[in-house]
Amino acid sequence: MLTTGLLSSIINSNKNNNSYSFNESAAMKYSRQRELVLQAVRENPIHPTADQVYHILKKDNPQISLATVYRNLNLLSQTGQIVKIPLPNQGDRFDGHTVPHYHMLCQQCGQVFDLQLSLLDGLDEQIQASTGFAVTGHQLIVTGYCPHCQQAGADSTAH
């Protein structure tokens, strides 16, 4: 979770050059809107859509626009500050947890969950060695039904 103290110290340490960076390779000009978008994604484990980020921020920041949210989500994902999760027929979701991991998508409720498994460690290297393809990364999304939806389905068929 991104704390206000940590965020303030990062911003304050870079105020002289009017930029901030959450890692050394992704320096960018500071903007309050970008800070808010990043914070909203990192503090919401629901893997929000752009619309959800917009509605989260709009409550306390009525001046923010949906275009600003989209622009900043794209910039933050391009610089590795967040992860974009493309979902078929649902649009993109965003994850503030940038350590490599996989996701599970519930086909009933549409929720996205983190999956912490090392099943495919070395996969990128294996693909590169066997095909010559220069792998820059991969994403795995497991589809199925979350425990809540499984239980709801079992309850409805028991009657």
Ligand-binding site membership of 55 (annotated)? no
Ligand-binding site membership of 148 (annotated)? no
Please state, in angstroms and as integers, the Cα–Cα distance from residue 3 to each residue in 64, 98, 101, 121, following that order: 21, 16, 23, 31
Q: State the sign of the Cα–Cα–Cα–Cα dihedral 113, 90, 150, 121.
A: negative
Report how far Cα 106 is from the mean position of its chain's Cα atoms.
17
Angle among Cα 146, 82, 80 to the nearest 5 degrees reads 135
d(CA 118, CA 31): 36
Please state, in angstroms and as integers, the Cα–Cα distance from residue 159 to each residue in 136, 149, 156, following that order: 50, 16, 6
Binding residues for Fe cation: 138
Binding residues for Zn(2+): 106, 109, 146, 149
Binding residues: 106, 109, 138, 146, 149
